[in-house]
Structure 1
C-alpha cells in the first residue's frame, strides 16, 4: 500500500514536470513571420533593440500560453492574437517576471458592444470598446476587434483600447481598480501620484488638457487613459506633461532608450 502511494506521488510529480516543460517549450516558440507583423503594426516593438524584440516575442508567447483568446461570432485570425498579446506585454515590459494572474481569457467581439454584452447591428448603446469583466465574467476581458485594430492603426494618437484594458488589470492586481497601481508603484509615490491625478483631472474638466476627456471620469480611468498616452506618444507626453511622464516612467520601469523619447 505504501509502495502504491509512493508510486502515485512519483507519477504525479513526473506529470507536473512534463507539463511544465511542455508549457515552457510552447512559451518559447514564436513564429518567425510574427516579427514582420509586429514591425508593421506595433510601433513600441519597432523602437526596441533586437535583443529587446526577442524578449518581447518570448513574453508574448508566455502570455498566449497562459491566457485563452476566443473569437465570439468571428473566426480568430493570427493578427488578432498578435495584437492582443502585444497589448498585454507593452505595459509590463519593464517587469520580466510578470504574469496576469487576474486574467484567464480574452473574448474578442467583432464590434463595440453594450452593457448587456450585445454587439449586433440592431442593438442599442453599443459604445463599449473594451472592458475587464466582473461577476460571472471575472478574470475575463472583452475587446472589440474594431477597437483593437484601430488602436494600432495610428501609432501616435494617444489612444489604444487594448492597452487601456490591460492597464486596468495592472491596477486591479492589488485588489482594487482605483487608479493607484500599488502592485507596480512604490509606496513613496502614492501621495504625489494622487495629487497629480487630481491636478490633471481638474485640467481636463476645465478644457486645459490634451489628455482624452474620458480620463476625467475617475482616478482609475485617468490612470488607464494617461497610460495610453504614455505608450502611444511618450515624446509628446514628456514635452507637455513632464511630471506625469516621469511618474509613469518610474512606475512602468521603462528606460528612455526603450521608449525612444
Structure 2
C-alpha cells in the first residue's frame, strides 16, 4: 500500500511540475510587448485604422508569425522594427483570414540593400536592382527582402508601393500551385473569368501607358496580381476611385467588407 501511495504522490508531483512549466512558458510565448502598439501606430497605417479590438488581434498575429518564421540578416542587423514591419506585411493581406498560416514559407532572408538574380549584393555585382523575391530551388519556401525596401514600404504612406506585401501576395498566388496571377483559392471558380477579363483589359491599358497602375504590373499575370494588391492596401480610397471593378474583385479576394 505504501509503495502505491508513493507512486501516486510521485505522479501527482510530476504532473504538477509539468503543468507549472507549461503555464510559465505559455505566458512567455503569449506575452506581447506593450510598446509594439506605439510602433505600429507610428509606422503602419493599416494598423492605425483598425479598431482597438482588431489592433489587439493584429499584435497577436505578429507574435504568432514571428514565432513561426525565422528572419535572418545577411551582412545587416535585423532589429525589432524590421521584424514588426515584415510581420505586418505578412498579416495585412490575410488579416481577414483568422487562422491563416503561411505553409509555403519557412524563413526570410534580409539583405541590407538591393540584389541581383544570383542573390549577389556587393557594389561590384551587375543588375543589382531586386528589392524582394520569393525563392526557388535551394531557396524554396524562403523569401528574400531588402532592408531598405522594408523601411521604404512604410516610410512613404502616400505611394502605391510596398515590396514586402508584394512578395507575400506572390506566396498567396502560389497556394493553388500555379503562378498565373489568378487567385483561384480566394475568389472561387465563378469569378475567374471576370478576373481574367479585368486583368487583361487593365494590362493592356498599363502597357499603353493609359493607367496609373505601376508599369511592372503589365509584365505578367502574377506581377499584375501582386502590384495591384500593393495599390489596394497602400492607397485603398484612390484605388477604389480609379479602379472600382478591380477594387471590388480584390475586396472579394481579401474578404474586405468595404
Determine if the TM-score, normalized by the shorter chain, exceeds 0.5. Answer: yes
Counterpart Cα distance in 1 of 2:127 and 2:25? 41
Q: Which moved more, 1:83-92 or 1:29-38?
A: 29-38
Residue ranges of structure 1 left out of the alignment (5+ in a row): 1-16, 257-261
Instruction: Go from structure 1 to structure 2 and tell me whether the alpha carbon gap of 1:239 and 1:73 turns closer, same or farther (over 3 Å shift).
Output: same
Instruction: Go from structure 1 to structure 2 and tell me whether the alpha carbon gap of 1:26 and 1:202 turns closer, same or farther (over 3 Å shift).
Output: farther
Aligned to 1:70: 72
Q: Are the equivalent residues in 2 in contact too, given 1:26–1:61 (CA < 8 A)? A: no
Aligned to 1:146: 148
- Pairwise CA RMSD: 1.9
Aligned to 2:257: 255
Instruction: Go from structure 1 to structure 2 and tell me whether the alpha carbon gap of 1:25 and 1:171 turns closer, same or farther (over 3 Å shift).
Output: farther
Structure whose alpha-carbon radius of gyration is higher: 2
Tell me the secondary structure at the aligned position of residue 184 of structure 1: helix
Q: Are the equivalent residues in 2 in contact too, given 1:200–1:209 (CA < 8 A)? A: yes
Aligned to 2:229: 227
1:186 has 2:188 as partner: yes
Q: Cα distance, 1:122 vs. partner?
A: 2.0
Q: Cα distance, 1:53 vs. partner?
A: 0.3
Aligned to 2:105: 103
Q: Cα distance, 1:27 vs. partner?
A: 5.4
Q: Cα distance, 1:219 vs. partner?
A: 0.5
Aligned residue pairs, count = 240
Q: TM-score, normalised by structure 1?
A: 0.88
Q: Cα distance, 1:120 vs. partner?
A: 1.2
Aligned to 1:47: 49
Tell me the secondary structure at the aligned position of residue 108 of structure 2: strand
Counterpart Cα distance in 1 of 2:241 and 2:24? 46
Pairing 1:110-259 to 2, within 5 Å after superposition: 110-256=112-258
Q: Cα distance, 1:184 vs. partner?
A: 1.6
Q: TM-score, normalised by structure 2?
A: 0.89
Residue ranges of structure 2 left out of the alignment (5+ in a row): 1-18
* Runs of 4+ deviating beyond 2 Å: 17-29
Instruction: Go from structure 1 to structure 2 and tell me whether the alpha carbon gap of 1:136 and 1:213 turns closer, same or farther (over 3 Å shift).
Output: same
Instruction: Go from structure 1 to structure 2 and tell me whether the alpha carbon gap of 1:207 and 1:22 turns closer, same or farther (over 3 Å shift).
Output: farther
